[in-house]
Structure 1
Amino acid sequence: MWAYTVGFTVLPHVGGFLGWFLNRKEIPEWYEKLKKPSWCPSRRVFPVAWTMLYTGMGYASYLVWNDLGGCGSKAIVPLGLYGAQLVLNWAWPPLFFGAPSPSSNGWGALIDILCLDALAIGTWCSWYRINRVAALLLLPYLGWLAMATCLTIRIWRDNAERKSD
């Protein structure tokens, strides 16, 4: 049974690592040059935060899966919502960092994170009825997503006229 626990816990990290790997060159090239609000976390905070958030949400998904007895019909909605929001979570870095500038493809990242917010809230609501510990483990993630959404909007707005360097 420990293999399932580890597998579910590690799964979110796979896409997170892939997103970082694909965009690691764009971050220093243009992200550092962007105008960012004073409340923007340091670049060093992001890997630590995402490691904790992915671990918590991965373990929470295991709890829900276990409580529902696997991937049967009861699990379709709660784990489907989780999977969909995870895909949007993984899609955000390439959409944001892969753009030559926030104004050129900022809409893609902005739409992605707004849909991600809705799916993450839906995931939390469905999990709350199944396993409250799992729902509690998602709360830091929801808080971070709220900050990330505000940051995405603010960077897009404040750099809308900026051309890629």
Structure 2
Amino acid sequence: MTTPTHSRNPWVVLVVFFVLVAVVALVGSLAATSAPETYARLVLPDWAPPARLFGPVWTLLYVLLAFAGWVYWRTDGETQGFAMYGVSLLFNMLWTPLFFAGGSTRLACVDIILLGFTTLMTIGLFYRRSHLAAVLLLPYFFWIVYATALNVAIIALNSDIH
């Protein structure tokens, strides 16, 4: 880890990362007002988590995501790493509106595959500067892989949903 050369207050920047991630979470929560009913109507695989698990899991993952960005910033992170981080946040923000509000499990599946790819790229870019920033993203990445498998299973089990 390199010593940061910038003069911004690190605590203010941490708040900025939390606000940025909170905006992503807020968009998802606004698009998920019908999520409990929609999730209950779907035919789910046996290994699908109960709906009540998503809130706590995503809260933890969003905290880790904000900290990872901040830790990377503290190393004078490269623009390429921040760009990929931002792109992955965009794909994250799009999934819930596509799946629940838009009712398109297939478009949501394409989105989450792209989310997984961009998150993996972000992990690789963060790792070059900060192993900790990369490790903080691993639970997020593994959840995305699990959620991708769940999205694919939902498509297969609910062929009448578009």
> What's the TM-score, normalizing by structure 1?
0.87
Assess if the C-alpha contact under 8 Å between 1:36 and 1:154 holds in 2: yes
Which one-letter code corresponds to 2:48 in the other structure?
C
**Residue 90 of structure 2: which of 76, 87, 92 is its match?**
87
Match of 1:63 in 2: 71
Which one-letter code corresponds to 1:89 in the other structure?
N
**Structure 1: which 5+ runs fail to align?**
69-73
Assess if the C-alpha contact under 8 Å between 1:81 and 1:119 holds in 2: yes
Match of 1:110 in 2: 109
Which one-letter code corresponds to 1:49 in the other structure?
V
Match of 1:76 in 2: 79
Using the TM superposition, give the Cα deviation of residue 10 of structure 1 relative to its aligned residue in structure 2, in angstroms.
3.4
Q: Distance in 1 between matches of 2:29 and 2:95?
A: 11
> What's the TM-score, normalizing by structure 2?
0.88
Q: How big is the alpha-carbon RMSD for the aligned residues of Structure 1 and Structure 2?
A: 1.5
Using the TM superposition, give the Cα deviation of residue 31 of structure 1 relative to its aligned residue in structure 2, in angstroms.
2.1
Match of 2:157 in 1: 158
Match of 2:5 in 1: none
Residue 44 of structure 1 aligns to a residue whose secondary structure is helix
Assess if the C-alpha contact under 8 Å between 2:36 and 2:51 holds in 1: no
Assess if the C-alpha contact under 8 Å between 2:155 and 2:161 holds in 1: no
Q: Distance in 1 between matches of 2:22 and 2:53?
A: 16
Q: Distance in 2 between matches of 1:146 and 1:22?
A: 22
**Following superposition, which runs of at least 4 residues in structure 1 exceed 3 angstroms of deviation?**
none
Match of 2:12 in 1: 3
Identity %: 33
Q: Distance in 1 between matches of 2:94 and 2:102?
A: 13
Cα deviations by residue, 1:119-159 (Å, 9 ceiling, x for unpaired): 00000001111101111100100110011000000001110
